[in-house]
Amino acid sequence: MSITIKTPEELALMRIAGRLAGEVLDHIQPFVVPGVTTAELDRLCHDHMVHNQGCIPAPLNYAPPGYAPYPKSICTSVNHQVCHGVPNDRPLKKGDIVNLDITTIKDGWHGDTSRMFSVGDAASILGKRLMVITHECLWLGIAAVKPGAHLGDIGAAIQRHAEKNGFSVVREFCGHGIGRKFHEEPQVLHYGKRGDGIKLEPGMIFTIEPMINAGKAAVSELPDGWTIVTKDRSLSAQWEHTVAVTETGVEVLTLSAGAPPNPFPT
């Protein structure tokens, strides 16, 4: 496993890319309303990234081995869609929950973040609770990041909180190292045991992006070759931040002015 340790100068550039990714979510929030299509949200985010921020949307035409190029600039995963939902012309309905996943490239460096939205602020009680618990899972995972900790500590914290609340953790997808490349080592599992995995050290940068299901953990892929859904069609939620291991703990690189705050402030 070859993990790239970022220099202080590279970390400074990652801060910029991460902040810009978060600001795309701030920009799009007022537009996530009943009747809007995810294709329109994609267009608005694309225009903001390209024309206002001078960024490149990393997902557009991204083609990992075995995949056709991704056709849009953001991922939009609605209700039982877990991740990698492809924007389309179906209008969002009041009560839908939707994840918008943004990855910017600025001066060659990537910033990756995602956020949940309740359309019309009218999600079901279950949907709202799932979004809250998943957001807490994200921040409990972030809190486990510090020099000398292990990757397994992150997954263990997430899994414990999700399962304690009656939810399940998707196993097939995980967080990842990030930098000049969209996806680098290490893989950051959202389940596991404390003390397992590599030791964290300053200069590592990766995403934490738990996908939590209201029902069972099993998922399947739609015929578009990208969209992942829950097999039992239960609701799914995801939140994501890009984080850096520092000398004293962790720095969240994708925080922006409109980002929901840490639910466990110290």
* 3-class secondary-structure state, position 236: strand
Q: What is the pLDDT of residues 143-176, one digit of tens each?
A: 999 999 999 999 999 999 999 999 999 999 999 9
Pull the structure tokens for residue 169.
């953790």
pLDDT of 266 above 90: no
Rg (CA), the chain: 17
Q: Please, which pLDDT band fits residue 1 given cuts at 50, 70 and 90?
A: low
Longest CA–CA span in the chain (Å) reads 48
**Cα dihedral angle (226, 88, 60, 260), rounded to 10 degrees?**
-90
pLDDT of 231 above 90: yes
With beta carbons less than 8 A apart as the criterion, state whether 192 and 156 touch.
Answer: yes
Q: What is the pLDDT of residues 75-115, one digit of tens each?
A: 999 999 999 999 999 999 999 999 999 999 999 999 999 99
Rounded to an integer, the average pLDDT of 5-32 is 98
Q: Please, which pLDDT band fits residue 73 given cuts at 50, 70 and 90?
A: very high
With beta carbons less than 8 A apart as the criterion, state whether 119 and 110 touch.
Answer: no
DSSP string for residues in 16-81 = HHHHHHHHHHHHHGGG--TT-BHHHHHHHHHHIIIIIS--EETTTT---TTSPPP-SSSEEEETTE
For the chain, the domains span 8-252
* 3-class secondary-structure state, position 204: coil
pTM, two decimal places = 0.97
Correct CATH for 8-252 of 3.90.230.10, 3.90.950.10, 3.20.20.70, 1.10.287.110: 3.90.230.10
